[in-house]
């Protein structure tokens, strides 16, 4: 599978008249080779790939990296090793690099090295590997499903522990513990636990706020399995039955989520997918209160292409797994968001998340 990915990248490079690509983004390196460490560079050519890493990963590469990939343990810096390799490969004339994933000082360094050697030319590219990553293969979908199962198991274990008088941070702590126990390798982003009026902050960090009776409680969190992410949001009410207003806003968000999840299709432009939920919320008079985009791809990163947003012209590719996460946020009152993970399958959308979406009283 990884050999196929590298071959597809090689074909893209050939189309552009490029001889090789320096891949520096770690998720892209993992996608192409299997390597999950924190320090690596990858050189991909038409006929092979060379991974550069350091001594700390000398054992790990043996189990993780596809045997068809040449592995070099750099004695000093990865960059010094890269210049040495490039010097020994006169066939590389035009070398692509990832503009979105190099620091300015690294870019300056290798532009200077290129000028000194004056043999190869640098070609800036954007989103070449990210584009390949948008369509998930069956193995990747299985990893995402496993991450979702871990996340849902952890949320189920956490809800009975939540009560009036707890801080948001304490709720986040219980949830993160449950995620670890259920097998999550980590947290794809800082767990969002927002209660009462703070639930109107779409990206609130968990705080020391004490949860009060009747508060809305918005929890947005994820799990990681074999590097692949889940991303889920549910909103609850704590210690009292929901008010009419809470029911009304929750029902609106739930219906817009359900309708967008059912209607989103591969091939649809990202902006048209976004409109599926936005039009619904606008018709109900809450358009101003839904200020973020509808969703994003998930995979080796929790936010990756494609985007489901007002400004996204690109069509949604087949096999993408995207979030559908409409929300309504009313300053001073609170907010509701419901987020599901959806596979854009050949027969239509497949909602991978199954945790109940009701406005449950905790
Ligand atoms: Zn989320
Ligand atoms: Zn999300």
Q: How many whole angstroms from 339 Cα to the centroid of ligand 1?
A: 6
pLDDT at 297: 98
Residues carrying CATH 3.90.230.10, the chain: 138-351
How much is the pLDDT for 103? 87
24 preceded by a cis bond (ω within 30 of 0): no
- Calculate how far, in angstroms, residue 314's C-alpha sits from the geometric centre of ligand 2: 19
String of DSSP letters for 42-95? EEEETTEEEEEE-GGGTTHHHHHS-TTSEEEE-SS-HHHHHHHHHHT-TT--EE
Q: Is 3.40.350.10 the CATH classification of the domain at 2-133?
A: yes
Q: Which of 53, 49, 50 is nearest to 77 (CA)?
A: 53
Q: What is the mean pLDDT of residues 9-24?
A: 94
Q: How far does residue 314's CA lie from ligand 1's centre (Å)?
A: 22
Distance in Å, CA 323 to ligand 2 centroid: 6
> pLDDT digits over 99-111, tens only?
889 888 888 877 7
Asked if residues 95 and 21 have their Cβ atoms less than 8 Å apart, the reply is yes
Is residue 36 over pLDDT 60? yes
- For residue 220, how far is its CA from the centre of ligand 2 (angstroms)? 8
The whole-number pLDDT of residue 86 equals 86
pLDDT at residue 118 is higher than 70: no
Q: pLDDT value at position 233? A: 98
Supply the mean pLDDT for the chain.
95
Distance CA 308, CA 294 (A): 5
18 neighbors 123 (Cβ within 8 angstroms) = yes
Where along the chain do the CATH 3.40.350.10 domains lie?
A: 2-133
Tokens describing residue 246: 């809470």
Query: pLDDT tens across 177-231, in order?
Result: 999 999 999 999 999 999 999 999 988 999 999 999 999 999 999 999 999 999 9
Q: Are 31 and 132 in contact (CB under 8 A)?
A: yes
Minimum mean pLDDT range among 59-63, 72-76, 89-93, 226-230:
89-93
For 258-303, how does the pLDDT look when each residue is reduced to its tens digit (9 = 90+)?
Answer: 999 999 999 999 999 999 999 999 999 999 999 999 999 999 999 9
Query: What is the percentage of the chain residues whose pLDDT exceeds 90?
Result: 86
**How many Å lie between the centroid of ligand 1 and the Cα of residue 163?**
23
Q: Give pLDDT tens digits for 148-171.
A: 999 999 999 999 999 999 999 999
Distance 72 CA to ligand 2 centre (A): 37
pTM of the shown model: 0.95
Query: Given 2.30.110.10, 3.90.230.10, 1.10.10.10, 3.90.1150.10, which CATH number is that of 138-351?
Result: 3.90.230.10
Query: For residue 34, how far is its CA from the centre of ligand 1 (angstroms)?
Result: 26
CA of 67 to the centre of ligand 2 (A): 35
Determine the distance separating the centroid of ligand 1 and the alpha carbon of 292, expressed in angstroms.
12
d(CA 101, CA 99): 6
DSSP state of 318: T
Q: How far is Cα 245 from Cα 258, in angstroms, rounded to an integer?
A: 20
């Amino acid at each position: 599978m990884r050999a196929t990915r590298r071959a597809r990248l090689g074909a893209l490079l050939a189309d552009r008249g490029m001889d090789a690509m320096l891949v520096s983004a770690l998720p892209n390196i993992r996608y192409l080779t299997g390597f999950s460490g924190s320090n690596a560079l990858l050189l991909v050519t038409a006929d092979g790939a060379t991974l550069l890493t350091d001594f700390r990963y000398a054992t790990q590469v043996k189990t993780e990296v596809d045997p068809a990939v040449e592995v070099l343990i750099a004695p000093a810096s990865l960059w010094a090793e890269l210049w040495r390799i490039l010097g020994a490969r006169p066939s590389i004339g035009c070398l692509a690099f990832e503009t979105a994933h190099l620091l300015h000082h690294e870019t300056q360094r290798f532009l200077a090295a290129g000028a000194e050697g004056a043999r190869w030319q640098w070609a800036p590219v954007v989103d070449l590997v990210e584009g390949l990553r948008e369509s998930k293969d069956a193995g990747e979908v299985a990893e995402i499903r496993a991450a979702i199962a871990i996340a849902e198991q952890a949320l189920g274990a956490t809800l009975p522990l939540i009560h009036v008088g707890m801080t948001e941070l304490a709720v986040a702590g219980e949830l993160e513990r449950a995620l670890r126990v259920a097998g999550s390798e980590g947290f794809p982003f800082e767990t969002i636990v927002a209660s009462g009026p703070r639930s109107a902050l779409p990206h609130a960090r968990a705080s020391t706020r004490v949860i009060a009776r009747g508060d809305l409680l918005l929890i947005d969190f994820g799990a990681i399995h074999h590097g692949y992410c889940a991303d889920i949001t549910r909103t609850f009410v704590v210690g009292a039955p929901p008010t009419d207003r809470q029911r009304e806003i929750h029902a609106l968000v739930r219906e817009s989520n359900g309708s967008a999840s059912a209607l989103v299709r591969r091939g649809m432009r990202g902006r048209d997918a976004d409109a599926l939920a936005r039009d619904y919320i606008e018709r109900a008079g809450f358009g101003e209160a839904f200020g973020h985009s509808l969703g994003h791809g998930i995979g080796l990163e929790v936010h990756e292409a494609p985007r489901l947003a007002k400004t996204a012209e690109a069509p949604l590719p087949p096999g993408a797994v995207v979030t559908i996460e409409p929300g309504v946020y009313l300053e001073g009152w609170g907010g509701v968001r419901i987020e599901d993970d959806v596979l854009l399958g050949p027969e239509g959308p497949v909602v991978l998340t199954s945790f109940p979406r009701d406005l449950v009283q905790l």
